[in-house]
Amino acid sequence: MKLSLFTLLFCTIYFFAHSQEIAITFDDAPLGDGNHYSGSERTDVLIKKLKKLNIAEVAFFSTTSHIDSDEKKQRLLAYAKAGHLLANHTHTHRGIKVLGTQAYIQDIQQAHQLLETMPNFRPWFRFPFLDEGRTIPTRDSLRQALSALGYTNGYVTVDNYDWYINSLFQQALAQKKKLDYTALKTMYITHIWESIQFYHRMAIQNLERSPRHVLLLHENDLAALFIDDLVKHIRNQGWKIISPTEAYQDPIASHIPDVLLNGQGRVAAIAKEKGYKGPFVQDSEDEEYLDKLFSQMNIVK
């Protein structure tokens, strides 16, 4: 009896420590036309690719001021119709410092009113810039306001600079440059994979296990171009893609870290709470680093 209990415990610890699972989320949806895809083309491509990859559920965190036309509303509805989830990323994507606490809460409520009647809406809130407030009273007022609205924090565990690589890509397209798409794909996938590994290692080091992860991406042209290659790469490394619903059932979802740590995700915040001193950001989460890499990889011909 003792032995089997021990074995069960060992297997449970082993499973959790080595669980390599990650959910995919896209922020800022619906973004406008890019220089590669129009907004509607991008939505079509993402939906088709996710279906082909057998990914039944990802989440789109919507910045609702982007819903400025019927076409943009239809794009969100198309994601929902395809089985994906919609959640709240404020109405205007302005920071707490810019708006002040009360106006920031109103910004959340405004987005809520636009989203709550949409299909597959989930009361999850993703802080723009992953900024939960710079003081304890601000942080706690926001936590209380979200809780009163019935929300939980739609946290990420894997932060990265996909948006910055996309901005370099968009600039090059605007300048009518010829691009090496294979090199661009390698840069994008390597950057995201390194971010996953960085927070996976941080979790094992500080939480004694790697949780069910949540990957932050943006609903941009790069995501639509390379989501299939990215997912194949992640799966080839032995990881499983799970749904955000599954990811948010991990015990870290109910572990609200009592720290002020902005700009990174929940793994980093829990690590800080446990006394980890950093680094909280990997080398490639840096604009200068990515500028240099983009030019060294000869992405622009």
Instruction: Name the residues that contact Zn ion, by CB under 5 A.
Output: 27-28, 128
Tokens, residue 233:
């790469």
CB 121 within 8 A of CB 149: no
Which amino acid would we find at residue 143? R
Closest approach of Zn ion to the CB of residue 127, in Å: 9
Question: Which residue lies nearest Zn ion, judged by its C-beta?
Answer: 27
- CB closer to Zn ion out of 87 and 187: 87
Smallest distance, Å, CB 175 to Zn ion? 25
- Cβ-based nearer residue to Zn ion, 51 or 97: 97
Contact, 253 vs 244, CB < 8 A?
Answer: no
Output the smallest distance, CB 14 to Zn ion, in A. 36
CA distance 158 to 87: 18
Cα–Cα distance measured from residue 293 to residue 235, given in angstroms and rounded to the nearest whole number: 25
Nearer to Zn ion, 83 or 263 (CB): 263
Taking the least distance from each CB to Zn ion, the nearer of 156 and 225 is 156
Residue closer to Zn ion, measured from CB, 131 or 228: 131
As measured in angstroms, the least distance from the Cβ of 93 to Zn ion is 6
How many C-alpha atoms does 4 have within 13 Å on its Cβ side?
1
Beta carbon nearer to Zn ion, 126 or 191 = 126
Work out how close the CB of 26 gets to Zn ion at its nearest, in angstroms, rounded to a whole number.
Answer: 10
Minimum distance, C-beta of residue 160 to Zn ion, in the bound complex (Å):
13
Residues in the chain: 301
How far is it, in rounded angstroms, from Cα 68 to Cα 100?
Answer: 25
The helix or strand, by DSSP H or E, that contains position 99, with its residue range, turns out to be helix 96-99
Closest CA to 92 of 71, 118, 114, 65: 65
SS (H, E, C) 39-59: HHHHHHHHHHHHHHCCCCCCE
Helix, coil or strand: residue 88? strand
Report, in Å, the least distance between residue 285 CB and Zn ion: 15
The verdict on whether omega for the bond into residue 30 sits within 30 degrees of 0, i.e. cis, is yes
Q: CB-wise, 28 or 159, nearer to Zn ion? A: 28
